[in-house]
Structure 1
Amino acid sequence: MTPSTKKAKNKIKSIDTSFDIIEYLMEEDGAGVTELADNLGRSKSTIHCHLNTLEQRRYVTQVDDVYRVGLRFLNLGGYAAQSNEIYRLTRSEVDELAAETGLAAQLVVEEHGKGIFVHQSRGNKAVQTDSRIGTERYLHCTAFGKAMLAYYSPERVRDILDRHGMSEQTAKTTTSPEELLKECEEIRSRNAAFDDNEQIEGIRCVAVPILTNTEDVLGAISVSGSTRHMDNETFRKKIPELIQHTVRVIEINYANI
């Protein structure tokens, strides 16, 4: 489990422990008390107490000696998505993009300096990756992340980079803040951002930001696929034009709310 690079002040330790347990169970697809205690640095008795409470509240389930995240989280996740206005406006548009391109299409919004998958749809040529609704990604190495960063102030961009760093995901990841800021200028001029094997080897991604009339960022729409299914013409021209058309429709609908 990767800890946050920015330490919160005045944390409540017991709540912190509960969420550490939940996140570990999600990332490892279940675990027992001993494994949790060893990997989270808590005593078995502490872990057991937290698991008992979480199980009573139906947020974890137990089969034999293995605990897993409970389905009750679906209710919270569904509420979080439905309460996001841009999700309601874009869900069908993302589905259409995936069907038209045959690739994976996503709506991503930024929260706490990371990109969160709010909706995802896969076409018949989509590559299976570990991404799903709720997946978090760094912004500096993803097309959707760079699309949003391009419309943030330089100060906000640097604050996000200071908070999360610019880890090298592949050999093609940009790890220089100066280079990223320069790329942001290019993204604004062409209204499209590209990730060419920067986040996952063999995967290309194109994204366009969703903006208000005053250029506040609402999120980004992206389409991703394997290098086999996204040649240069598709990657640099066809897909950006499709997403730009989709985003224009979304922005018009948003302005008329």
Structure 2
Amino acid sequence: MVMQANNPVKALYTMEEIIETLEEHKAVGVTELAEIVERPQSVVHNHLATLRELEYVIKEESKYKLGLKFLQRGEIVRKRLPLYAKGAPAVRKLAKETKELITLIVEEHGRGVYLDVAQDNADIQYPAIPGTRIRLHCSATGKAIMAYMSEDKVEEIINRHGLPAQTDKTITTRDELYEELDAIRERGYAYDRQEFREGMRSIGAPILDESNNILGGLSIAGPTHRFAGDRLETELPKKLLQSVNVIELNYNEPNIQ
């Protein structure tokens, strides 16, 4: 992790590494955790003891894992966002209509965050859960969001996170990305043609406020065999844009006399 704050509190970076490791490994002992984060066992133990006292981690036998207090904090933050309240009904309706994975995404710190996720058909288990963070340049929704940002904001994201390849189809150069963003603005929605995950395609559209500022994005995703032909090019984009229109109308709440 690159420290960008002028006077960073290094203990918080250590705590973040510990939390991320617990997230990745589910349950870890002090010795193993200290080896992973490359800190003395005494330091790791002190952090864990404090986090446990604050009820952010729990201890089972000799191992530690994340507690549900994170869920409480996350839900409070999510419910404070108007886009979540206005978008949730449309997300579930679209999932029911398409039988595909629907995600509502917002940008935070240059990455996409799943604000809401719905799937009516559980034949494929996707690792998409609310709060998951993704790179913007390799997803349809992420690219749709970037298309309506200022160039300065896009450059800031590229400089901070780069354009790494997630699959061999991911856009990895500025020229390709800007060309893609131009096409998205002209079309009104974006495609992910296995750029995010092999065997998976998605369609994403921006959600704008009444001043055309970007609020977030909505996407439909699924396996390549179901995302082809007229369904990919016409049927799904139409349903997606209809849902975005509903969200925007509800969000902007026009006064009808």
The offset of 1:7, in angstroms, is 3.5
Identify the match of residue 26 of structure 1 among 23, 29, 54. Answer: 23
Residues in 2 aligned to 1:125 and 1:52: alpha-carbon distance in whole angstroms: 39
The offset of 1:125, in angstroms, is 5.2
Residues in 1 aligned to 2:115 and 2:175: alpha-carbon distance in whole angstroms: 29
Residues in 2 aligned to 1:235 and 1:48: alpha-carbon distance in whole angstroms: 52
Identify the match of residue 121 of structure 1 among 101, 110, 118. Answer: 118
The offset of 1:17, in angstroms, is 1.3
| Structure 1 contact 103–127 (Cα < 8 Å) conserved | no
Is 1:132 paired with 2:138?
no
Encode CA deviations 1:45-71: one digit per residue, 9 max, x unaligned: 000000001011110011112211101
Identify the match of residue 100 of structure 2 among 74, 80, 103. Answer: 103
Q: CA distance change for structure 1 residues 189 and 125 in 2, over 3 Å: closer, same or farther?
A: farther
Aligned match of 2:54: 57
Over the residues paired in the alignment, what is the CA RMSD in angstroms?
1.3
Q: CA distance change for structure 1 residues 100 and 247 in 2, over 3 Å: closer, same or farther?
A: same
Aligned match of 2:68: 71
Identity over aligned residues, as a percent?
37
The offset of 1:121, in angstroms, is 0.5
Equivalenced residue count is: 254
Encode CA deviations 1:93-147: one digit per residue, 9 max, x unaligned: 1011111111110110000000000100012156322221100000111101100
Aligned match of 2:9: 12
| Structure 1 contact 148–217 (Cα < 8 Å) conserved | yes
Aligned match of 1:252: 249
Is 1:208 paired with 2:194?
no
Residues in 2 aligned to 1:170 and 1:35: alpha-carbon distance in whole angstroms: 31
Identify the match of residue 191 of structure 2 among 188, 191, 194. Answer: 194
Q: Which amino acid aligns with 2:81?
A: N
1:86-97 aligned at under 5 Å gives the runs 86-97=83-94
Q: TM-score, normalised on structure 1?
A: 0.95
Identify the match of residue 232 of structure 2 among 230, 235, 250. Answer: 235
Q: TM-score, normalised on structure 2?
A: 0.95
Residues in 2 aligned to 1:245 and 1:131: alpha-carbon distance in whole angstroms: 23
SS at match of 1:129: coil
Residues in 1 aligned to 2:60 and 2:29: alpha-carbon distance in whole angstroms: 10
Is 1:170 paired with 2:173?
no
Q: Which amino acid aligns with 2:12?
A: I
Residues in 2 aligned to 1:125 and 1:100: alpha-carbon distance in whole angstroms: 14
The offset of 1:239, in angstroms, is 1.1
Residues in 2 aligned to 1:155 and 1:44: alpha-carbon distance in whole angstroms: 43
Q: Which amino acid aligns with 2:121?
A: N
Structure 2 segments unaligned to the other structure (5+ residues): none
Q: Which amino acid aligns with 2:115?
A: V
The offset of 1:79, in angstroms, is 0.4
Is 1:223 paired with 2:244?
no
